[in-house]
A and B are shown apart, each in its own frame.
Chain A
Amino acid sequence: MKETIPTAETASRRPEPAARGGRPRRRKLTFDRVTFFLAFLGVPLAIFVIFVLIPFGQAIFWGMTDWRGFSPDYNFVGFDNFTKMFQDDIFLKALRNVALLAAFVPLVTLTLALGVAVAITLGGPSKGPVRGIRGASFYRIISFFPYVVPAIIVGLIWAQMYDPNAGLLNGVLTGLGLDHFDTFAWLGEKATAMPAVMFVIIWGLVGFYAVLFIAAIKGVPGELYEAAKIDGAGRLRTTISITLPAIRDSVQTAYIYLGIAALDAFVYVQAMVPNGGPDNSTLTISQRLFNVAFAKQQFGYATAMGVVLAVVTLVFAALVFLVNRLTGGGEGESKRKAPGSRARRAAAKGGAR
Chain B
Amino acid sequence: MTAGRTLSVRNLSIMFGGVHAVEDVSFDVSPGEVFAIIGPNGAGKSTIFNLISRLYEPSAGSIQFGEYDLLGLPAHRVVDTGIARTFQNIELFEQSTVLQNLLVGRHSRMSGNALCDFAFLPRVRRAEIRHRRKVEDIIDLLELAQYRDERIADLPYGARKNVELARALCAEPALLMLDEPASGLNTEETDDVGFWLEDIKHDLGVTLVMVEHDMNLVGQVADRVMAINDGRVLAIGSPDDVRENEDVQQAYLGMTE
A and B from one complex: no
Point out residues on A near B: beta carbons under 8 Å.
Answer: none
